[in-house]
Amino acid sequence: MKKLLPLGLVTLMLATPSFAAGDAAAGKAKAAVCAACHGANGIAMIPGYPNLAGQNAQYIVSALKAYKSGERKGGQSMVMAPQATMLSDADMENLAAYFSQMK
């Protein structure tokens, strides 16, 4: 049993999909515009704006795509929709990889 546990953990880790498939370095380069509202370190300085540091990568990509498509309304959508419209799918993945790896 003790020998099977580590093997099972390795198998599980290899089988788990990675949602931060983007390039964090490319995301960091693209994130300069995000800093105006979400802070240079991913911690928002403006009350009511979300922190992006440590956020789930899949959530970031999903939110950006929803803003871009117009599916996400209300809140800060009037600010975020134009920002998201300028991003490619690769940009979104890269930003998600960058912010999700932050502490």
pLDDT at 15: 42
Q: Is residue 14 part of a domain?
A: no
Task: Say how many domains are in the chain.
Answer: 1
Residue with tokens 């009037």: 78
Report CA dihedral (30, 48, 44, 52) to the nearest 10 degrees: -50
* CATH number where 73 lies: 1.10.760.10
Q: How confident is the model at residue 88 (pLDDT cuts 50, 70, 90)?
A: very high
Q: What is the pLDDT of residues 28-51, one digit of tens each?
A: 999 999 999 999 999 998 999 999
Q: How far apart are CA 16 and CA 1, in angstroms?
A: 22
The DSSP secondary-structure symbol of 40 reads T
Q: Is residue 69 part of a domain?
A: yes
- Give the CA radius of gyration of the chain: 16
pLDDT at 6: 53
What is the chain's mean pLDDT, rounded? Answer: 86
Q: Is residue 13 part of a domain?
A: no
* Overall average pLDDT of the 50-69 stretch: 97
Q: How far apart are CA 28 and CA 34, in angstroms?
A: 10
pLDDT at 3: 57
For the entire predicted model, the pTM comes to 0.78
